[in-house]
Chains A and B, each alone.
Chain A
Amino acid sequence: MLTDIFAYDFMQRAFAASGMVAIVAGAVGYFLVLRGQTFAGHALSHIGFAGATGAALLGLSPLGGMLVFIVLAGIGMGALGERLSGRDVGIGIVLALALGFGLLFMKLYPSNAAQVTSLLFGNVLAVSKSVLVSLAGLAALTLAGLAAIGRPLLFASLQPELAEARGVRVRLVGILFLAIVAVAVAQSVQIVGVLLVFALMVGPPATAMLLTTRIGVGIGLSALIALAEAWGGIFIAFHTDWPTSFCITALAAAAYLAVLALRKG
């Protein structure tokens, strides 16, 4: 069965791409949950939709357009800081507006339904060699960025007032972090799509936090859980012919609920 699945090139690429993206999403998502910014991550993915369709309109690469758009939006959100990041209403409006623009761009440049569906819901089975290379580069960049700001990010996330007093540039760290989140979101969209980014970026860290109270272990666990869910999802999808993104999101939800039930019981 396993040899079966790896007999296909596109399957190999799917496992490689989703593996890299899952590890990044799990690690970055841990901080997103820690900081209570999951909604901001969600909004960034929607902004990515407008970016990707807008790029298609201009004849540019959707991944590139999405990346530029999301990173700019992430930096903007970070710069507005507490005035926006913590505010659900502001983010909600931006999120809806972005989806609306995405729709408009699609209307102006009619792309085929499959392209749109894969943007919205992901299509990991269609990852090309060049996209795979891009994803590898972006994954390395994201993890390097996270490592570079890890210490002040953790401090500022847990105790912002104290961090400020100790000389941490809390605002700058917040901006850099959302820029990193933006890159991670752009990668995740390739796997699970704009609408289901939560499954990779929020489910695993939330599950990890139920399993351990240790921060270092939690980050590692979150990345591992995301990896297991992504690969498990592809595996199930291969054998059931259900959509991969559905299988990944279902696994993410099932894992979270199972751990929750185990802890309560």
Chain B
Amino acid sequence: MNAIAFDKASLSVGGRSVLRDVTLAVAEGEFIGVLGANGAGKTTLMRAVLGLLPLSAGTIRIFGLPATRGNAAIGYLPQAKTAAASLRLRGRDVLAASIDGHRWGIPSLTGGKKAEIDRCLALVGAGALAARPMNELSGGERQRLLIAEALIGAPKILLLDEPLANLDPHQQQVVVDLVRELSRSLKLTVLFSAHELNQVIGAVDRILYLGQGEAAIGPVDSVIQPSVLSRLYGAPIDVVRANGHIFVMSGGAVVERDQHHDHAH
């Protein structure tokens, strides 16, 4: 059974069509790099998988069932910098707040929940980080902690929305390697969005490239083609390969670099 299946799905946000008639399937355990310019719809696609966005047409199925809010099979790391990141609160407490966070009542931390937090922290090697205040962690450390949080409750799918934003190249590599390793050892299906193909090229099984309301999914070599990308960018695109890196060029400039800014959505 597919972990994620889109069937002629169309997504719109605030009355604006973002993705049209998208059909794709992601097998269980696959690591998918999600690419596309700013505003191409990477975040929107993940929100739809989470059941946060009504579809304007088609269906999205998660392990055969329609996407619904609060699906315990999905772990999520949102793109927007979490409010907790700037607060002087220890990471462990922030993680604890997410367990059973949808239930009414007073927060409580039973032995079972503590053990679950410890298990997830250990998976990403963040046991010691969790004792420190969130606002004193480096970007890479914070992502490590938030990935641990996404693992709470043992989901089978991880949606990581631009987890490399604002990290230096070394930290980026550490995070990519960590997620790749987790996906192998825990048999997790991963959607990992990124600004630049080269950040994730070593880790992905396939890529999902978004643009102009369309989506192309497949192995790197079949998607990163001038014909496919010209359609997704709506402009003539060249693909230049050098030293194992691939550069997507338009009119002599690397298109991904132009959008290399962090933004909130």
Query: A residues touching B (Cβ–Cβ < 8 Å)?
Result: 34-36, 147-152, 154-168, 209-210, 213-216, 218
Contacts and interface: CB of A to CB of B under 8 A. Distances in A.
B101 interface: yes
The interface residues of chain B, by DSSP majority, are classed as loop
A161 to B, nearest CB: 4
Contact of B89 (A148, A163, A164, A213): A213
B252 interface: no
A165 B82 contact: no
A147 to B, nearest CB: 5
Interface stretch (B103-111, B120-128, B197-205): B103-111
Contact of B69 (A148, A157, A158, A167): A167
B207 to A, nearest CB: 23
Task: Give the top 7 A-B pairs by smallest Cβ distance, nearest first.
Answer: A167-B70, A155-B101, A161-B78, A158-B84, A213-B90, A215-B93, A167-B102
21 contacts: A150-B107, A151-B105, A151-B107, A152-B103, A155-B102, A158-B82, A158-B84, A158-B87, A159-B78, A159-B82, A159-B84, A162-B76, A162-B77, A162-B78, A162-B98, A162-B149, A165-B70, A165-B76, A168-B101, A213-B133, A214-B93
A161 B105 contact: no
Interface string B90-103: 10011001101111
Nearest to B131: A213
A162 B89 CA distance: 17
Contacts of A161: 76, 78-80, 82
Nearest to B69: A167
Contact of A34 (B78, B87, B107, B133): B87
A76 B80 CA distance: 26
B260 interface: no
Nearest to B104: A148
Nearest to A147: B106
B100 A151 contact: yes
B88 interface: yes
Given A152-B104, A165-B50, A213-B88, A159 B98 contact: yes
Contact of B83 (A159, A166, A213, A216): A159
B240 interface: no
B164 to A, nearest CB: 18
The interface residues of chain A, by DSSP majority, are classed as helix
B51 to A, nearest CB: 8
B57 interface: no
Given A34-B87, A161-B82, A213 B102 contact: no
Contact of A158 (B70, B88, B97): B97
B52 interface: yes
A214 B97 CA distance: 11
B133 to A, nearest CB: 5
Contacts of B104: 148-149, 151-152
Contacts of A209: 87-89
A155 to B, nearest CB: 3
A165 B103 contact: no
Contacts of A213: 88-90, 93, 132-133
A147 B93 contact: no
A98 B50 CA distance: 41
A151 B103 contact: yes
A154 B99 CA distance: 11
Given A162-B82, A166-B101, 5 more contacts: A151-B97, A157-B83, A158-B84, A165-B47, A214-B93
Interface string B63-86: 000000110001011111011100
Contacts of B101: 151-152, 154-156, 163, 166, 168
Contacts of B69: 164-165, 167
Nearest to A215: B93
Contacts of A151: 97, 100-101, 103-107
Contact of A36 (B76, B83, B98, B105): B83
A156 to B, nearest CB: 8
Contacts of B77: 162
Contacts of B47: 165
B101 to A, nearest CB: 3
Contacts of B149: 162
Nearest to B133: A213
Contacts of A158: 82-84, 87, 89, 94, 97-98
